[in-house]
Structure 1
């Protein structure tokens, strides 16, 4: 049974959901699954945009057969070679031996690396601004290197004013029948997962994403068809504004995110105390996470969201508590920047986490570290009330 839907008169969604996959890229948990999107343009020439993951191949082929209804595929447009989108290239070449692959120079190199067939005579190489005419539809190609692989490109259909955006504008989460953004409450159902997807998958390449947004700004885009998540056909400015913020590392929310690495609970008790005092000072948005309990991908997403961060951390083996060290490593790898940060350190005999966290943050770009710091020896004492008050005052002052 097919699971397809019309997008426009002759553009079809033929993607599939995977609700069984536990971890995206074997790293990021998927409580709500993921969609792999693919599209068929049924014109004088038939074009398929990307394939999907190997785990859902059977449904994918059934969807293709239903829409084709006996026709052949003339072109397979390869926007992105990552295996969740490129796994079925060889399978389709076997089914449609006259099909032409369309990609750039870097695409061809990756096809050669992933597969054992010679694609020299079956690939059409395109570059920035090249077009492919299908009849009434013309696709124009724009290179988007490092969003988030070097071979990535997008294409724009002049007839329907559709941008096929590769991994850009994607989100975690399966599609529950509704393939369009306005068929669900996006902010409630998908926004957090879109932020988590962007922050962890694309987030390192903010400058490259911003460059793609500049190219998109010059096009009359009425619809965005990503490789994951819902198709955008309404209120595009809402999601474009989110991407503009994320790509420039600009916080969405003026608020405080407290990230706590605690061994026996004493550091967490201090973090709880600081959260209470921040609320007393009138800070509306205060969120506290135990870094040992929350997967790092969710913490990264929250860091993309909030303007101010507090790291409350125990010293462990003369270093940073391991889960906190992992988070800082990911922040640095993803080029996170432009945040105001406070530090709370704990240690029983040789406190070191504060100094080491400061060094990590100073190696990142545009991180403003609040001068005041809370220093705990084993457990926060009543005599340190004024020290905590001074820290909270300095931190709230930085929010004005």
Structure 2
């Protein structure tokens, strides 16, 4: 195993890459894997900042031992976030380093006992508290609900490294490049967006509060618990999370459709074609075949959204219902919404989509297209008109 990379003086990445887990949180696909980033600061006292998922403890321990000087042990484990993908190794780490003190805020320590039982010795820290390692001074900043109530960040005032926990992270492993100047930026940007929208988006207002707390912090490196370490452009992940948390959008459109026999697809196709003719290249997703995590990511950055859905048992086509439930949970706002529905003998999809729009306070662009059967040439024209009206609004 190669020597752990240094991200700053006396500061090392001792995390692991996971190519084995198919679904993050048993929900979100990981086509490019995921990293569990942990960091070791070696000073008069040694601090491990975050840990890894329990399954990967062997690699984690090996990396720690590679950089621990002879005779040294780990004095502190700083827990920025309690979720088991960062704390699953705690009990075994404590058996390897029996004198290691667990460091966290009040809510962290409460959760520790709930997950792992009593874990003394522990040290409770508050907002602004400092842990002195020697030359390195670690300052704690509480950032609750980003995305659990105990989340916090740790800033090394000596090196300028911000250990940001789950904030500013993304899906994807870092075995082909740990730093932002080594990675495929386009791929990492997409996996960051998908991570944010699926894991963090519901708590956007709390992310914005966390970003405000960082305005006067002179960080030079951002080291999250998932994804790339940002050293060349450390403010970029902060700016992206701020933009996504504020639900700022581009003048783009997502056409998300479900179709059992191809009839609703033809309606969605007519709308997509009309958008293209007006200079908009829509993101088109079949909700039955594209995992919701990818659809949500495109929706999150698009001002326009067209939902095309057949009635199924007097309600919504189930994959569309699942997508809308996710969007509602994530508190989607500020979108222009087009609605296309179809039915065979009794409607229901239109009413359900209109109810969704009302609950989410989304502006519906006319006309609403509700089609009985396969649809006529006039129905296709109405879909094109809907798309034209949406394009006009986006261009205004």
- Report the TM-score when normalising by structure 2: 0.97
Larger CA deviation: 197-206 vs 299-308:
299-308
Structure 2, unmatched stretches of 5+, are: none
Aligned residues of 2:34 and 2:171 also touching (Cα < 8 A): yes
Is residue 261 from structure 1 mapped to residue 258 from structure 2 by the alignment? yes
Shift of 1:2: 5.1
SS of alignment partner, residue 134 of structure 2: coil
Partner of 1:314: 310
Is residue 21 from structure 1 mapped to residue 25 from structure 2 by the alignment? no
Aligned residues of 2:270 and 2:380 also touching (Cα < 8 A): no
Alignment of 1:1-400 (within 5 A): 1=1, 4-70=4-70, 71-119=72-120, 122-186=121-185, 188-251=186-249, 253-283=250-280, 285-365=281-361, 367-399=362-394, 400=396
Whole-angstrom CA distance in 1 between matches of 2:197 and 2:385: 33
SS of alignment partner, residue 165 of structure 2: coil
Shift of 1:239: 2.5
Larger CA deviation: 348-357 vs 142-151:
348-357
Aligned residues of 2:76 and 2:102 also touching (Cα < 8 A): yes
Aligned residues of 1:2 and 1:62 also touching (Cα < 8 A): no
| Deviation per residue, 1:162-190 (Å, 9 max, x gap) | 1100001111111134210111231x221
Whole-angstrom CA distance in 2 between matches of 1:386 and 1:233: 52
Whole-angstrom CA distance in 1 between matches of 2:5 and 2:356: 49
Q: Residues 355, 42 of structure 1: CA spacing in aligned structure 2 closer, same or farther, 3 A cutoff? A: same
Shift of 1:379: 1.4
- Report the TM-score when normalising by structure 1: 0.96
Q: Residues 12, 379 of structure 1: CA spacing in aligned structure 2 closer, same or farther, 3 A cutoff? A: same
SS of alignment partner, residue 372 of structure 1: coil
Whole-angstrom CA distance in 1 between matches of 2:165 and 2:75: 20
Whole-angstrom CA distance in 1 between matches of 2:347 and 2:152: 49
Shift of 1:87: 0.8
Q: Residues 265, 112 of structure 1: CA spacing in aligned structure 2 closer, same or farther, 3 A cutoff? A: same
Shift of 1:349: 1.3
SS of alignment partner, residue 169 of structure 2: coil
